[in-house]
Amino acid sequence: MPDQAKLTQGSTLKHVVVMSFTNALGLMCMFLVDLVDMLFLSLLDEKEALAAVGYASTVMFFTISISIAVSVAATALVARAIGEGRIEEAKQRAVSVLVFGVLFSTAIVALLWPNVPMILSFIGASGHSLSLASGYLHILVLGMPAVMVAMISSGIMRALGDARRAMYATLIGGIINAVLDPIFIFSLGLGVEGAALASLIARLSMVLVSYYGVVYVHNMLGKFHISHFCRDIRPICVIALPTMLTNMSSPLGNAIVMEHSSTFGDDAVAAMAIIGRIIPVVFGGLFALSGAVGPILGQNYGAGHFDRMHRTIGSAVFYAFGYCLVLCTVLYLAQDWLVAIFHATKGTADLIHFFATYASFSFFFQSLLFIGIAVFNNLGKPFNGTLLNFGRAILGTWPLIIIFGWFMGAEGVLLGQAVGSVIFGCLGFFLGRRYIHTLEKKETRDLRVGNNRAYDDPLL
């Protein structure tokens, strides 16, 4: 059990780097296995297999985004309580979010499973690709409750500042997946369905590792009480539901891109599927940034340390720029190798080259958006993050990829996405910084008149 809010002390840059790096290692390991899936499936010499996994992964991104949203609620609520010194309250909130997550994810599976072929058809899958994608997704979607528990447990540990142990679940799950992939795909001859089975078993293993950290290492689960659960549903929903919409806007944008790419043929779809696997592996450190900044902001807001909150935002930008500078250079230098290992056709290879050469640095601006969304999600205004991300997914994607695609073909789809990221990244960061200044002024004003922040806190 924590005896202090460790993120309220020490260097903010160190906290950002450590929290981001450890979270990124876990995420990149998980996504690296997805990339290995694509590599193994490319060896089957079946172009439809790559396209099928691309279609199915677009849907799986929705389910993973839902799990991440509930874990954000766990991180925000537990971190705030820890920062305020209310340990028992933090434990009650932790168990409430876990129960909420299991119930909600089970309901999603019951709704999604029978409608898999219809959903895949809607985003452009057809023929043999539809058949393969349906088999893949029918297996993988059954693991959603396991992913939910693992994500929430990792979010609780991040709220405590234990990013290293939070990393272990995805790291071990990724290793298990990588070991089982060639066995199921080739040795047992299961192909695409074998890749799905390997991923399902790996996700079940993640539950054991993450749950052990929360229960036996930190002793951070209180006893379940229905009255506490009913009380906590409101603050959970205040964060989780808007964050869920925020996270689903990214796969919505990806679905829009995948559907529009399908008009350029299977080569374009296969390229987008490969790029979709490359992005989380290369830029996992940026996707981890929001989860790293959130608990730091939450603990320091609970403790009333606004100076550290401002420094945290600056540290996050510094980290993101350095990360992009290094990784975009590596991606540029490795583009021919990526084309070779995926046995890409000329049309697919052209898109991979275009992404690595021109579009990749737009992820720095996406990181600015992630920082702004982390501010809103963890400081009581998650709906603002929802509007920003939906704005990027729709206004920053749909019209731009249509316009650029009209003039440049499939390459214009990638360029349109990049331009939208620049616009909404700058906007999101500006609004996030302004919101912290607003909270600071309100806190100062309330202290002068003797008001208690908790009376009008939307998270309580």
Write down the mean pLDDT value for the chain: 82
Q: What is the pLDDT of residue 355?
A: 92
| Tens of pLDDT, residues 190-236 | 877 888 888 888 888 888 888 888 888 888 887 888 888 888 888 88
Q: What is the pLDDT of residue 31?
A: 64
Torsion angle of the four alpha carbons 11, 13, 14, 19, in this order, in degrees rounded to the nearest 10: 130
| Tens of pLDDT, residues 43-71 | 766 667 777 777 777 777 777 778 888 88
Q: What is the pLDDT of residue 5?
A: 67
pLDDT at 32 exceeding the cut of 80: no
Query: Average pLDDT for residues 406-429, to the nearest whole number?
Result: 90
Question: Containing domain of residue 211, as a range?
Answer: 10-445
Nearest to 165 by CA among 201, 115, 214, 225: 214
Q: What is the pLDDT of residue 410?
A: 84
- Region of poorest pLDDT, from 38-47, 322-331, 447-456: 447-456
**Tokens at residue 150, please?**
């693992």
| Residue 429 vs residue 38, higher pLDDT | 429
Residue 3 lies in a domain: no
CA-CA distance, 356 to 337, in Å (whole number)? 12
Residue 455 lies in a domain: no
CA-CA distance, 35 to 365, in Å (whole number)? 24
Q: What are phi and psi of 157, to 5 degrees?
A: -65, -35
Residue 196 lies in a domain: yes
Q: How confident is the model at residue 455 (pLDDT cuts 50, 70, 90)?
A: very low
Tell me the CA end-to-end span of the chain in Å, nearest whole number.
Answer: 23
Is this structure's pTM higher than 0.75? no
**Tokens at residue 40, please?**
């193994």
| Tens of pLDDT, residues 344-374 | 888 888 899 999 999 899 999 999 999 998 8
| Tens of pLDDT, residues 318-331 | 999 999 999 999 99
Residue 450 lies in a domain: no
CA-CA distance, 430 to 161, in Å (whole number)? 27
CA-CA distance, 235 to 386, in Å (whole number)? 17
When divided into structural domains, the chain yields a total of 1
- Burial (CB count <10 Å: 0-12, 13-18, 19+), residue 67: buried
* Collapsed DSSP state (helix, strand, coil) of residue 347: helix
Say how far residue 407 (Cα) sits from the centre of its chain. Answer: 32
Residue 101 lies in a domain: yes
Residue 98 lies in a domain: yes
pLDDT at 333 exceeding the cut of 50: yes
Q: What is the pLDDT of residue 266?
A: 76
pLDDT at 148 exceeding the cut of 80: yes
Residue 122 lies in a domain: yes
| Tens of pLDDT, residues 286-313 | 877 877 888 888 888 877 888 899 999 9
CA-CA distance, 247 to 374, in Å (whole number)? 12
Residue 418 lies in a domain: yes
